[in-house]
Every structure is written in structure tokens, then in C-alpha cells.
Structure 1
Amino acid sequence: MTKSLRELSDRLEIQDLLVDYSDAVDRRDWDALDHVFTPDAVIDFRATGGAHGDLPTIKAFLADALSHFTASQHLVAASKIELAGDTATGRTMCHNPMVLDGQVMFVGLWYVDRFVRTEAGWRIRHREQELAYLHNAPSGR
């Protein structure tokens, strides 16, 4: 099926948004997340033992949780995007190695997102995780 230029552009903008999220988190640039999510976004990271809440809650959670890790890489791939005008849904694979106390922990998950087109471009309005695996998780998980 042939895709319109607008659909191709929308898909590329959403893909860039997914990369922007990974880049912001791995660089620990929490304010950059303001350009990824809508101000009223709801984010649910409970599937991997994280927080659930609005953007300020999640930014504080990420800042605290990731302060224990010396490095992380959120590697996103294989996004299934469904466009519907000014909204879209997506399910994106993420492989996330994280270094803690000299050991590498691996987290595999999917981000399940609802996107919305805003005046500033595409943003995530709702994000939820689906856990696939945890390897070398710290004790207590």
C-alpha cells in the first residue's frame, strides 16, 4: 500500500520522538522530556518496578532510580505505529542494558504509547511498559 507524504512524515516524527526519549534518559537530561511528552501525560513504569504518574513524578523517579546506574542504553526498535489523523498508537521494542556496581543488567520491554499531534509536533500523551525480561536484576526484584 502506498503511503502519503504526510503519513511518512508523521511516522518519521514519531520515530524521532522515540529516539528523543531514549537520548534524554540515557543522557540524564530530564528537562528534554518536556519535548517528548504532553504536559498532561500519564506514564506507567510499574511493569519494571517503577513509578506511575504525571510527567513531574516520572522525571523525579527517573532521576532517583538512574542515579544508581553508571550507564544505560535504551535501544528502541521495531515500532508498530497506527496513525489516525492527529492521534496515533504505538508498540515499540526496547532493549535496555544498565550498569550497576560493575555488572550489566538487561531489561527487555515494549513501550505502549498513545501519541497526539500538538502545535509543537507529535508528543506522547500516555506511555505504559510491558515487561519481556529482566536479567541480572539486583536482589529484591
Structure 2
Amino acid sequence: MAETLEARIAHIEDRIAISELRARYSFLVDQSMAEEAADLFTGDGEFHGPVKSYVGRAEHVEHYSRQALSGMWHFGANEIIEIDGDRATGQAYCHMPCVFEGESYVCACRYDDVFAREQGVWKFAKRTVSFFYFVPLKDGWGGERMRFPGVAA
């Protein structure tokens, strides 16, 4: 049975809203806007990082207020979004150069997300980050230059 035009448009609008939620998260965290970043989570929303997890608005505000990174720039890509009514799941990759204790780092990660529509607005119900690499810029991904087959050094 074919979906109605209205249902198809609503699905597209939901995908755009979720994509915008991810982009807004990156911008707010990069700008150290802790209160606003915390508002992107549901009331009992969870964030799971490599060291610690945070649940609920108060913990999110505390976490984003005291981040040890003095500079951070999220560049997101490869979004996947699966919508099922007022819930959705998805993954996204992120390249994130940053500064930690005065040293430049290069890192990339994957976000695994669960979204929920709360009072008509899409929010993070759960966001889990796992890193592919997080190394000082001077060391590169593996401490040496990458080499491609058939290309002179």
C-alpha cells in the first residue's frame, strides 16, 4: 500500500529535523553553550562517552560546562536515520579536531543515536560516542605517514 503524500512529506520533515538536531548539537557543544546543548536531550536523555555517562539535564549541563577541551570543531558525515513513529535510531561519523591542555589533537568518532519526539520536537534519548582514533596531531593516526599503493612517497 502506497503512503500518502502527507505521510511522505512528514517523513522527510522528520529526517531533516533529526539531521538538524545533530548539527545543532555540534554547533552548541563547539561554542561551549552547555545549557542549550543539554536542552537537545529528552528529560531522561543519556550521553555515553568513553570515560563516563551522563543522564538527565543537570548532568548534561555539568558535563558540557566543564569540558576539558579548550577548542573543538565537529564535522559530521555519513548520517543514517531510521524512523519508527515517535522514535528513531541512527549512526553518524564525525571528524573532530580539538585542543586539549594546549596540544592539538585529531580524532574521529561514531555516534550511535536513539531519538524521541518530545512535545512534537525531536531530541536525543540516548547518544553514545565511540572513537576510531584520538591522537596528538603531531603523531597522526598511527604515528607515521599513510602510504597508498602505487603512489610515490
Distance in structure 2 (CA, Å) of the matches to 1:106 and 1:79: 21
* Equivalent residue, structure 2, for 1:44: 48
Secondary structure, in 3 states, of the residue corresponding to 1:104?
strand
The reply to whether residue 87 of structure 1 matches residue 91 of structure 2 is no
Distance in structure 1 (CA, Å) of the matches to 2:109 and 2:60: 17
The reply to whether residue 32 of structure 1 matches residue 23 of structure 2 is no
Query: How far is the alpha carbon of 1:56 from its aligned partner?
Result: 2.2
Secondary structure, in 3 states, of the residue corresponding to 1:135?
strand
TM-score normalized by the length of structure 1: 0.83
Query: How far is the alpha carbon of 1:58 from its aligned partner?
Result: 3.2
Contact 2:34 2:60 in 1 (8 A): no
> Which is further off, 79-88 or 101-110?
101-110
Distance in structure 1 (CA, Å) of the matches to 2:84 and 2:112: 16
* Equivalent residue, structure 1, for 2:99: 99
Greater RCO (Cα-Cα under 8 Å, separation 6 or more): 1
Contact 2:37 2:64 in 1 (8 A): no
TM-score normalized by the length of structure 2: 0.77
CA RMSD of aligned residues (A): 2.0
Contact 2:92 2:110 in 1 (8 A): yes
* Equivalent residue, structure 2, for 1:60: 62
Query: How far is the alpha carbon of 1:62 from its aligned partner?
Result: 2.8
> Which is further off, 125-134 or 55-64?
55-64
User: What percent identity do the matched residue pairs reach?
Assistant: 24
- CA 1:58–1:35: 2 relative to 1, 3 Å: closer
Contact 1:14 1:122 in 2 (8 A): yes
Gaps of 5+ in 1: none
Query: How far is the alpha carbon of 1:98 from its aligned partner?
Result: 0.5
**Which structure has the larger Rg?**
2
User: Which string of whole-angstrom CA distances, capped at 9 and with x for unpartnered residues, describes residues 18-56 of structure 1?
Assistant: 01111110111111124311111111112xx3x202132
Query: How far is the alpha carbon of 1:78 from its aligned partner?
Result: 1.1
Count of aligned positions? 131
User: Which of 22, 25, 50 lines up with 1:21 in the alignment?
Assistant: 25
